[in-house]
Each structure stands twice: as structure tokens, then as C-alpha cells.
Amino acid sequence: SYELTQPPSVSVSPGQTARITCSGDALPKQYAFWFQQKPGRAPVLLIYKDNQRPSGIPERFSGSSSGTTVTLTISGVQAEDEADYYCQSAATSGYVFGTGTKVTVL
């Protein structure tokens, strides 16, 4: 079955930049979406269509795509950005989520 692979964890100091990658063979042909999930909360859509931000999402969150890898970048990381992050894309019949990345703010 189709998989999207993310690093299990990323650590970053406040004010620095965090980059989270997501790799999948179909990503050159399918859009990617990114979600943030904090403990005990439902996921929140951060990025749609590879690099678009929904209204209300801070500008420090951005997305990019290159070949089979998409990247979520958090610029000027804040303590409140500590959370789990998931990429998501389309599969043959349905959708698939990435394995998830825990971002720790040092």
C-alpha cells in the first residue's frame, strides 16, 4: 500500500526554522496537505494544495514541493508550535496520511 514517510521527530530552538519532510512516490502528481495536532485535540489544517495557507494560519507556516518530497517549514518557531505534524495526500482510492513528526521546541 502507498505510504508517506516523515521523520519521527524534529527539535528546534525558539526563533529558529523547522523543516519537516514528507516523501512519497506519487507526490509529483498529487497535492499535499499538512496538519498540526496538539495533545487531546483534533488535527488542524495548516497547508493545502502543497503551499496554500487557509485563513487564520500564521505566515510562519509554509509548504513547498520538489519531486517526491514535500516540506513544511516553520519559520521563527514559537513554543506553541510544539505538536505533531502530519502530511496527507491522495492514494489510488482514498487518502493517506504520513507517519507523523513530533516537533519539540527546546
- 51 binding another protein? (CB under 8 A): no
Q: Does 88 bind another protein (CB under 8 A)?
A: yes
Q: Is 38 in the site for another protein (CB under 8 A)?
A: no
99 binds another protein (CB under 8 A): yes
CA–CA separation, 69 and 85 (whole Å): 15
Terminal-to-terminal C-alpha distance of the chain = 36
Query: Contact with another protein (CB under 8 A): which of 21, 23, 37, 68?
Result: 37
- Rounded distance, CA 85 to CA 55, Å? 18
Using CB under 8 A, count the residues that bind another protein.
24
Q: How far is the CB of 69 from another protein (least distance, A)?
A: 19
Handedness of CA 77, 99, 23, 92 (dihedral sign): negative
Does the protein bind another protein through residue 61 (CB under 8 A)? Answer: no
